[in-house]
């Protein structure tokens, strides 16, 4: 049964449909980009779709973070997976283990969250400039 307090997720094309299926079977509200947009959609179009529909992007691609930083956007939240072994089973397992932390980080304000094998790091959106 889906958790009504959890956000919805939009899996980028570099996230396996197997991972999406496994997470969906676990009750995650998750769709893959190819279910709602063209598979070759540009990153800015994917960002716009996620923002419009209140979805958190899950990706292996660092370009979303760059686009959010350059644009000064406060959303959508993005989860960057930086795993040594990004197999479908490992991706789903790592996301499951991080789920409560993800919900807490995303609930109050947008964030870019990086998940590695050993840690979860985040930066709140919008990114603040360190230049004066």
* Inside any domain, residue 2: no
Residue 19 within a domain: yes
Q: What percent of the chain has pLDDT over 70?
A: 92
Q: How far apart are CA 2 and CA 11, in angstroms?
A: 17
Question: pTM of the predicted model, to two decimals?
Answer: 0.92
Number of domains within the chain? 1
Among 85, 43, 95, 83, smallest CA distance to 65 is for: 43
Domain-embedded: residue 131: no
Residue 1's pLDDT band (boundaries 50, 70, 90)? Answer: very low
Residue 132 within a domain: no
pLDDT at 106: 86
CATH number at residue 69: 3.40.50
How many residues are recorded in the chain?
A: 132
Per-residue confidence (pLDDT) for residue 7, from 0 to 100: 85
Is 58 inside any structural domain?
Answer: yes
Q: 39-63: per-residue pLDDT in tens?
A: 999 999 999 999 999 999 999 999 9
CA 25 to chain centre: 18
In a domain, 77, yes or no: yes
- The mean pLDDT of 105-113, rounded to a whole number, is 85
């Amino acid at each position: 049964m889906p958790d009504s307090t959890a956000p919805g997720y939009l899996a980028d094309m570099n996230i396996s449909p197997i991972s999406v299926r496994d997470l969906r079977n676990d009750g995650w509200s998750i769709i893959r980009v190819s279910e709602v947009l063209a598979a070759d959609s540009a990153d800015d179009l994917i960002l716009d779709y996620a923002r419009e529909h209140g979805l958190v992007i899950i990706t292996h691609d660092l370009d979303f973070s760059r686009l959010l930083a350059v644009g000064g956007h406060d959303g959508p939240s993005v989860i960057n997976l930086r795993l040594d072994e990004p197999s479908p089973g490992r991706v789903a397992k790592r996301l499951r283990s991080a789920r409560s932390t993800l919900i807490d980080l995303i609930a109050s304000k947008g964030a870019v969250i990086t998940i590695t094998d050993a840690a979860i790091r985040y930066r709140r959106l919008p990114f603040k400039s360190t230049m004066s």
